[in-house]
Chains A and B, each alone.
Chain A
Amino acid sequence: MLDLRLYMAQRLTALIMVPLTFGHIAVMIYAIEGGLSAAEILSRTKGSLAWALFYGTFVVAVSIHGAIGLRVIMFETFDLKGRPLSIFSWAVFLSLLYLGARAVYAVTTT
């Protein structure tokens, strides 16, 4: 079910996300103080290429990582296999990628 290729994709995306997640947790702890608002989020991220790259990379990595993770669970727990399993994995990957890209675009575009 998991071959070397998928395994490596899972581990590499995990490694990429380690520093990104620590950064994200730090930003969250910092940002939540005094409450959140749309304007406050935008003032931090709008027009910033750095934030776009940071969260853009995050979205790509998490889409791959989440899709492979759910693929394993669908196979092991719900007995989904073969073509339906591949379709499911790709659908999760593409939906996460689409929604994530839209979110990054919304908060970083000027």
Chain B
Amino acid sequence: MDFNDTPEQAKFRAEVRAWLADNARLPQAGRLVRDMHLRFDEAKQWYQKKAAAGYACLDWPKKYGGAGLTPVHKVIWSEEVEKYTEPDDYFVIGIGNCGPAVMHFMPEQRRAELLPRMASAQDVWCQLFSEPGAGSDLAGLRTSARQSASGDWLINGQKIWTSGAQNSDYGVVLCRTDTSVSKYKGLTMFVIDMRQASVTVKPIKQMDRGQHFNEVFFNDAHIPDENRLGEINGGWEAALVVLMNERMAITASVPDGFAEFLKFVRRAELAGTPLREHPLVRDKLAQWYCLHAGVKASYYRLITAVAQGGVPGAEGAIGKLIAGRMNQEIADFSLQLMGEFADLHEPAAATDDGYFQDAILYTPGIRLAGGTDEIMRNIIAEQVLRLPQEPRVDKGMAFEDIPGG
């Protein structure tokens, strides 16, 4: 058990620190970029800057555009980059979910073509899983892939909640290739070129006015067979690899709002009493810190296990379950502490650039993206604790016979 850096890690940390000091921007009042197109451009620039300096995808092999380092180096990087305002996790879905899928299922030549461009954000990737009728019950999806005589595939159907689809060059898409077998057995996963005309992306306006999610329509979209990930009808197993990496990635990146809360507590007051001295506030501060520290320490345990050759398990669901709820509760409590002033959703006038006003509006989405709280609990109960599944009405039925509605 040792939290300290090895000499090699300390050297890496010092290099990273120096590079960030020269290249990353510190937060400043009014600097937060709200326009999502500008934020996307910023993110692309940041990733390209990182890649040029050799800091992209630290734990990927060098031949795929990574740095050939370890998950521990990633932790060091995120600790050092935390205080800057750069969009360092912006392309987490592509790099965290799609990257490992490409690495796992594609032949060497395709990996070498696709991955370095992904690492430097020259190509942007999205994940096309959820559908209007298949969210929590993902394996119930209906988008179809039919193989033509040439061996290539034609895709028809609709996806939804696809983060970043409007900016994406490629997507990892899960499709139904056989309706005559049970729902888990008739799926196949592919890489699709999103820039073709038969793919239509329609942004969804969120309740917080943002437009990160999209509907994606496929109308005879084309996928060459070389873009298939894994076996025909082996898509569920392939999807599980993606989802496992997703949970690992989001454990580290779901914002919990704690740092912002601590900052607020340090300097605001309630009816003349500094918040830092207020017993009700201190109780919440301690409670949330214990969760914040616990998720972080759990992540360190996970990283250590992976570094020792283990596989990231469903334990990552813990981080998402805790951080999503906590961020929403922190936003609410902080706004309550501000009184009527909290209603003012004007970045220039509000506390911390309106962080808490923004957060109360975006946190409901954090609890849904990547699986609801209930799905996280199911994952923990069934995959970690190995408790029996609910009886399923559609168990063993051919997909085409399952009632829908």
Is chain B found bound to chain A in the same assembly?
A: no
